Amino acid sequence: MSSQEYRHIVRIVGNDIPGERKLLVGLTQIKGIGYNFATAITSTLKINQNSNIGHLTEENVQAIEKLILNPIEAKFPSWFINRQRDIETGKDLHLLTSDIPFTLRNDIERERITASWRGYRHLSGLKVRGQRTRTSGRKGGAVGVAKGGLAAPVKKGSAGVPAADAPAADAPAAAPAAAPATEKKE
């Protein structure tokens, strides 16, 4: 292969992938494509999995993009797709890139609006899928006694606390003590 066929950056489905990456690792950089999906793509298209992404031809890149964008057309099973029976369309979809968090936020918001049990759990910030919550899944500060050693003693005269033997600022100055009235004679 000549150096002109090698590309340092390959753009697949809007993602820039460095050319020195192996094909499987490079495909998994696209959000929505995992290792198993990347393996299925390379075996379906009969591309060497150990080759670098930079050595792919333009036809290979276009075939990979076509397969990623419509895996159902390539006879992938429905359990392999990441969004089966979409609520709005009823079709099997495979979501990619920014569609994943957008759809997830919409699903959670729909559950909250319909006041389903899952919506209440999301709203309260609790576990949603039936996990144990008695001892795990705690977040936030501890409730109860604060840990971390003894409380620091309060020093007299600091932080606005007047000392017991120091005169108060508001009190008038006391008269000096008078000398004893009687003197001893020798």
| pLDDT at residue 90 in the model | 82
Give tens-digit pLDDT for 18-44. Answer: 888 899 999 998 898 889 889 998 999
Whether pLDDT at 176 is above 50: yes
Residue 177 confidence class, pLDDT cut points 50, 70, 90: low
Q: Which residues of 1-25 are buried (b: 16+ CB within 10 A; e: fewer)?
A: eeeeeebeebebbeeebeeebebbe
Q: pTM score, two decimals?
A: 0.61
| pLDDT at residue 13 in the model | 84
Going by C-alpha positions, the residue among 15, 22, 7 that lies closest to residue 55 is: 7
Alpha-carbon distances, residue 44 vs 47, 89, 102, 137, 157 (angstroms): 8, 27, 29, 41, 80
Structure tokens, 22:
């192996």
> Burial, 33: exposed, middle or buried (Cβ in 10 Å; 0-12, 13-18, 19+)?
buried
Please check whether residue 25 is in contact with residue 92, taking contact to mean a CB–CB distance below 8 angstroms: no
Residue 171 confidence class, pLDDT cut points 50, 70, 90: low
Residue predicted with more confidence, 4 or 115: 115
Give tens-digit pLDDT for 70-89. Answer: 888 888 888 888 888 888 88
Mean pLDDT of all residues belonging to the chain: 79
Number of H helices, E strands in the chain: 5, 2
| pLDDT at residue 160 in the model | 55
| pLDDT at residue 7 in the model | 83
Least confident among 59-68, 95-104, 111-120, 171-180? 171-180
| pLDDT at residue 10 in the model | 86
Of the ranges 7-11, 22-26, 128-132, 141-145, which is most confident? 22-26
Whether pLDDT at 158 is above 60: no
| pLDDT at residue 169 in the model | 56
Q: At what angle do helices 58-69 and 35-45 cross, to 10 degrees?
A: 120
Q: How many Cα neighbours within 13 Å face the side chain of 167?
A: 7
Domain borders along the chain are 9-77
Task: Write down the architecture of domain 9-77 according to CATH.
Answer: Orthogonal Bundle (1.10)
Residue predicted with more confidence, 83 or 146: 83
| pLDDT at residue 1 in the model | 47
Partners of residue 18 on adjacent β-strands: 9
